[in-house]
Structure 1
Amino acid sequence: MTTKICSNCESSFNCGAVSAERNCWCNDFPPIFTLSEGGDCLCPDCLKEACTDKIDAYVETFDPKKASENKIASLPKTEKLIEDIDYYIENGNYVFKAWFHLKRGHCCENNCRHCPY
């Protein structure tokens, strides 16, 4: 593990693999965000915000008629669900967001609140 400084908020955070079996925490995030030229790692909060912004922008342009062109379902799968990216909790219940549904790649026909299909 290495201590780094976030290129966005300048806070310090740990970066790197925890062990041979456990990758860096950033590997839990969707593989959709690349740092701008000259940037370095982002802290967990800034990376979550950057991912959320990029996901929200994609969801706004998603057209259910073009669902077959959904590239999200073909991204490498992450093992961990991340609050505010994949879901949020409302009255003790998990509510899955559009990103979660797009990763699945099809509508489950359960009338999900944030179904993009």
Structure 2
Amino acid sequence: TGQVVGYGGLCLDDRSASTANFNPVQVYTCNGTAAQQWTVGSDGTLRVLGKCLDVNGGGTADGTAVDLYDCNGTGAQVWQPQSNGSLLNPQSGRCLDDTNWSTTPGTQSQIWACSGNANQQWTLPS
């Protein structure tokens, strides 16, 4: 359990530490709060505050938002670390992406075609 650090040294963050379904997952200044304490599940999930990192609506298109949702065992919540540091969502064939290479805290994350670019590289907690 710990921080997931991405492009520009920003952390994956549960906006306002909310546990509501569809709450946005954003990049934000790393601050060690509960909203940034992610657990890598043995089932391929990334969990924070009892919720799972989820591709909104099980979408597969570039630009689909990533949010929080009740953990439900669907493919929208599986994230596979790749050798290049990216996190692949196999159901969509897309990777977790820092939207538009943003270094602006509060930018919602999305899925995008896997490129191996720096805005798709994430360091998971050990």
Alignment TM-score, normalising by the size of structure 1: 0.29
Choose between structure 1 and 2 for higher RCO, CA contacts under 8 A separated by at least 6 residues.
2
Larger proportion of strand: 2
Higher radius of gyration, 1 or 2: 1
Larger proportion of helix: 1
